[in-house]
Amino acid sequence: MQNSTETPGRSNAEIRPFRIEIPQAELDDLRDRLARTRWPGELPGQGWSRGVPLEYLKELSEYWRTGYDWREHEARLNELPQFTTTIDGANVHFLHVRSPEPEALPLIMTHGWPGSIVEFLDIIGPLTDPRTHGGDPADAFHLVIPSIPGFGLSGPTSEPGWSAGRVGGAFAELMSRLGYDRYGAQGGDEGAIISPDLGRAAPDHVVGVHVNAASVGFMPFPPLEESELAELSEAERARVERIADYMDDGSGYAQIQSTKPQTLAYGLTDSPVGQLAWIVERFQDWTHAELPEDAVDRDRMLTNVMLYWLTGTAGSSANSYYEDKHSGAWPQPSGVPTGVAVFAEDISIRRYAEQSNTIVHWSEFDRGGHFAALEAPDLLIADVREFFRRLR
């Protein structure tokens, strides 16, 4: 996939142009595997309660095999400037889209799991070139959008220890290599853990951190005492209930990824339908739509799945859960100005976020969810602009 065949060293600071070029043989292999899927049975009438329904996945897999056009989406991605560099022994792939506005603020945006750089495709234009998209040119950003080491186009990591804190340090080095001395950080899901850690790693350079779909460091862990619950608003109590429901009935994937990611990797790396189901289940559950494509474009979701399948990063991305669980680290107080966007299905609660973050901006929305850049890009764009406006 890379236009250079050299093997970079651990301390090689070179930034290399990158282009996605998937061999046709890999696409043919994918279609062949999809055609030969060995399907399980299922209990009747269960819907999504026990996982992805059989008929839904059969139909989606057939569309993936015969209707979805990877080359179209590969070309779309290749329209964006892409690069790789080696940091702390890991390959780091990233988009680097500079604004036409000379005074634009550099901003590094970080995805989560099971996301990727494709989450941000619809917001790159408005954030880098607001003048063209009906916004104020004073709100422009130079965007750096990395693939987390071990995820997607960064490829698998080759050693343990890639916790969120280590990734945050690596991204500080990435911004330094790009010549950015003063910049913002934004992220959702795992990116909402990495971005604050980037602020802790480089507080003299990060002017502010904006997060959505935030969890660790921004939420409580039930059960809470009745006296504590009584101090919360109705909306906050509903978030506590969602957290409890998630821990009881929605966190099976996280338990596996944080304890036995290697065992999981065999099935997901060998079976495209297995990889598809593992990711699509999260899209359905976290968008709280009847079907994932009711909230997120079907082709965009499949392109996201493709970045895991084609790069063989099911196991290495799952390892991020293991590393965070076993790192022993807990968010330490940060003085970096922090903004939180709470979309309709998010679980952040301000009083808990303030325990380890300097909260200067807090927004709550009645729509959108975990994949805000895909589900409610207009709200995310506006909130990112508003937060960083005071920090430029």
Dist CA 206 CA 198 (whole Å) = 8
Q: List the catalytic residue out of 183, 321, 322, 352.
A: 321
Active site residue 308: no
CB-CB contact of 319 with 310 (8 Å):
no
Give every strand in the sheet of 206-212, ordered side by side: 15-17, 82-87, 90-97, 141-146, 105-110, 183-188, 206-212, 337-342, 358-364
Q: Which residues pair with 364 in a beta bridge?
A: 342
Q: List the catalytic residue out of 73, 96, 210, 370.
A: 370
CA 291 to chain centroid: 20
Cα separations in angstroms, 284 against 51, 250, 278, 292, 296: 10, 12, 11, 4, 9
Dist CA 334 CA 354 (whole Å) = 10
Q: Which residues pair with 184 in a beta bridge?
A: 107, 208
Active site residue 285: no
Dist CA 338 CA 348 (whole Å) = 13
Q: List the catalytic residue out of 189, 285, 299, 346.
A: 189
Asked if omega into 223 is within 30° of 0 (cis), the reply is yes
Judge residue 343's burial from the number of C-beta atoms within 10 Å of its C-beta, 0-12 exposed, 13-18 middle, 19 or more buried.
Answer: buried
Active site residue 321: yes
Question: Token pair 């060998």 is at which residue?
Answer: 270
E strands along 59-205, which residues? 82-87, 90-97, 105-110, 141-146, 183-188
Tell me the catalytic residues. Answer: 189, 321, 370
